[in-house]
Amino acid sequence: MEQFLHDNSLYVVLGIALILWFGIGIYLFSLDKKVSKLEKQIASIKE
């Protein structure tokens, strides 16, 4: 597999782009979960 990636380095570029997207995406996803939890807390306090 290493040799294949060495020859077709475009997939290395693609892999790096995907790492960036997944890294930022996972972070956004976890932020979103935290915000939903907080919103639920606010809703439960208001009652």
Residues that bind another protein (CB under 8 A): 5-10, 12-17, 19-20, 23-24, 27-28, 31, 34-35, 38, 41-42, 45
Q: Provide the minimum distance between the beta carbon of 7 and another protein in the complex, in angstroms, as a whole number.
A: 5
Whether the CB-CB separation of 20 and 26 falls below 8 Å is answered with no
Whether the CB-CB separation of 5 and 11 falls below 8 Å is answered with yes
Token pair of 21 as six digits: 């997207």
Q: Residue 42 or 47: which CB sits closer to another protein?
A: 42
Q: Residue 6 or 47: which CB sits closer to another protein?
A: 6
